[in-house]
Structure 1
């Protein structure tokens, strides 16, 4: 189901780079359409994650995704939160607290099915401006789109508006901060910080450019808290009142609830997922070892584009031995009823795997029982 969009993205990047002269939609652009977008939470790279991936010639992260690749590639567009930087070997690879990951990490994400990454988070400046800029270069080299951090003011002012099956999606990304690392003087364009006026300005520009759906991706909230705080709710209100249709959060490293809301007209459904948790990390304790793939379905008719369904596929991160080698695997926790199919799981891991599904389902639907969660598979031995 995956569609090639990179070439089109580059065209739109040029067409929509100036709000002063937006391109009018053609009759073709107003036709009916359907699109499925997938989102994941935090893509971390702690030291064991790259140490276990080391090979004689470099690093290979691709096996980590072997059991989740088809679920990522199923959507028309798959988006993740890159919470590390790719600053190069000369800066030395490291995990927490100042991340720097091998370039092969991006290659594995591309091969796993990721098309687009948001890059504004508290680790964006872990290796300074050079690290931030090099990360963008590496992603571009892999054909992965991005937003949230930028190489110039012109780049910053060029909203990422992607056309997927006739529907125009604006993707906006902001972070609460950068772990106390200052943004270089005179270069505020490097990273989007959460700012009410900036968010409102960007959403207004997206509207002027005729985006059908505006998606805001925030990096915010309190780590390891399984419910949103008042700050998250406040900045969500800023975006929603300005016209955002979908708000998706990251940073807490655990899942938080999701909810549908109606807009002021009552005709269009708005959606918020406060946190998608850890999609891939070394945090192996309960709740932080779990994440989700969020699938959002959209339909467009002659009048408007709307969100039709929101469904979660809970995931769980295995860390252990396979064929005598320390490694990781990201598993769909809907398969926890089929744990016998994963012979590398220990008894305690099988229990954690199954428990993570129940935890995730309860958290994600806590605020809204209409939220869809894929059912556990019914497997026979």
Structure 2
């Protein structure tokens, strides 16, 4: 795991490590047993937006031997390795080179991407999106087989009914567990094979309710990822707001949104029981080949989960704006990398600091006290 080299130091400082173990459907320790410990525990969880690998991105990643995405992500690697758990939306299915790498409208990405995002710090990918079925059932199985081979967790698309029925729970050595659920509005009109609805979770309120209630039994917090909204719109629409409210009313702790390919605001939404749900309506693109300015700006969304006895809270939301930097040489995208927006120069982006301040205002307009990661 990514924290092995720091285990001894973390034991000294905090009495626990950030190493993780995938528990699947297994029940974690009962809250009554844990409350007897009567000490405070905390972890951080980070989420990034779309990994949407256009041909111009994977072509630039090719180094003659493999597709090197890690160097593209190196400038933000520290920000993804520090959190206890980091999650990403894998928008382009990783069916592998044997199926033929491909671009929009039906994507297919190389397995090297899975290796490199894992090395960069990603622990779990959400797979439910409108491109899940781009290369059919075989690509889903290829991707899952590879994730399982390297130990990268996944949710939202599954290899069997039993796999879909297994709620994804990550237990941490801090004694805090988190459940991850993922759903999409659709699959670009590509029909799901009859009897294999488990291949991709679609937004169905009955299923979401059942999954959230089960997740609540298994984990300390529940995080729902929705692939929803209107592309390129910087504000959530009514359907997004209604689905978020539905999740909040169920007691969901955090909702992470994808699909618009641009950033939408972060806010707290109150559930019907008076609970507060932390929401990022859209985290935009993290790594993609889209050219337009707002589609090149994404970010790392982070929050703290704290537990004391049997009381669990989500607090201290924070955000790092990011920027997909590249050069155009002879109409070819090259030197692609993801940079903290605060590090972008005026040579790379005219009036970079102005854009940074506008993004900060945009994502924080509906929430007080949002911290920005330096």
SS at match of 2:216: helix
**2-side partners of 1:292 and 1:56: how far apart?**
30
**How far 1:240 sits from its partner (Å)?**
1.1
Corresponding residue pairs, total: 356
**How far 1:371 sits from its partner (Å)?**
2.2
2:222 equivalent to 1:214: yes
From 107, 115, 123, the equivalent of 2:123 is: 115
**2-side partners of 1:257 and 1:141: how far apart?**
36
**1-side partners of 2:69 and 2:206: how far apart?**
40
**1-side partners of 2:238 and 2:247: how far apart?**
15
SS at match of 1:86: coil
2:301 equivalent to 1:294: yes
Residues 264 and 184 of structure 1, relative CA distance in 2, 3 Å threshold? closer
SS at match of 1:249: strand
**How far 1:321 sits from its partner (Å)?**
7.0
Counterpart of 2:210?
201
Counterpart of 1:303?
310
**How far 1:261 sits from its partner (Å)?**
3.3
**How far 1:142 sits from its partner (Å)?**
2.2
Counterpart of 1:243?
251
SS at match of 1:287: helix
2:112 equivalent to 1:99: no
Q: Mapping of 1:1-381 within 5 angstroms?
A: 3=3, 8-9=21-22, 12-16=23-27, 24=30, 27-28=33-34, 31=37, 32-164=40-172, 165-209=174-218, 211-264=219-272, 266=274, 268-320=275-327, 326-336=334-344, 339=345, 347=347, 349-351=348-350, 353-374=352-373
**1-side partners of 2:206 and 2:334: how far apart?**
48
**2-side partners of 1:357 and 1:30: how far apart?**
46
Gaps of 5+ in 2: 5-17
RMSD between superposed Cα atoms in Å: 2.3
Residues 183 and 325 of structure 1, relative CA distance in 2, 3 Å threshold? closer
**2-side partners of 1:275 and 1:325: how far apart?**
25
Gaps of 5+ in 1: 17-21, 340-345, 376-381
Residues 352 and 318 of structure 1, relative CA distance in 2, 3 Å threshold? farther
